[in-house]
Amino acid sequence: MGNTKIKLSSSALKFMQKNGITDVTFDLCRAEPKGFLKEIEPVYQAPADASGYRYFVVEGYHIFVARDIKILGPLTISTEGIWRFKQLFLDGAGAAVSFWIFEEN
């Protein structure tokens, strides 16, 4: 997907403005400490080394998406959760699932 574009939902824009967020990194993390399922996690800063990320500028915001995140369709940054548990969510992307339980990635 060489010409991938990202949209910002109105709720994501409000969330980012309210919290002073200018950089967002979407990365993969393990869903559980010893588990093999991964989920996409937002981090509200730029990565130290951006070489492993796709980079986008969306409405003046800097967005980094890990290259190992699978893009499934059009990408939209929205919010999920409520109150203190609200966070940004990358819609249109997924984590590649590995069923090989001995894999260390």
Residues 58-75 have pLDDT tens digits of: 999 999 999 989 998 899
Number of domains into which the chain is organized:
1
Asked if 103 and 36 count as a contact pair (C-beta separation under 8 A), the reply is: yes
Reported pTM: 0.81
In a domain, 100, yes or no: no
Taking residues 80-102, what's their average pLDDT?
A: 78
Boundaries of domain holding 29: 6-95
Do the domain assignments include residue 50? yes
What's the pLDDT score for residue 1? 46
Which residues does 62 contact at the CB level (< 8 Å), separation at least 6? 22, 23, 24, 46, 55, 56
Task: Look at residue 103 and tell me if it is in a domain.
Answer: no
Per-residue pLDDT, 51: 95
Could you read off the pLDDT of 5-54 as tens digits, one per residue?
899 999 999 999 999 999 999 998 865 665 566 788 999 999 999 999 99
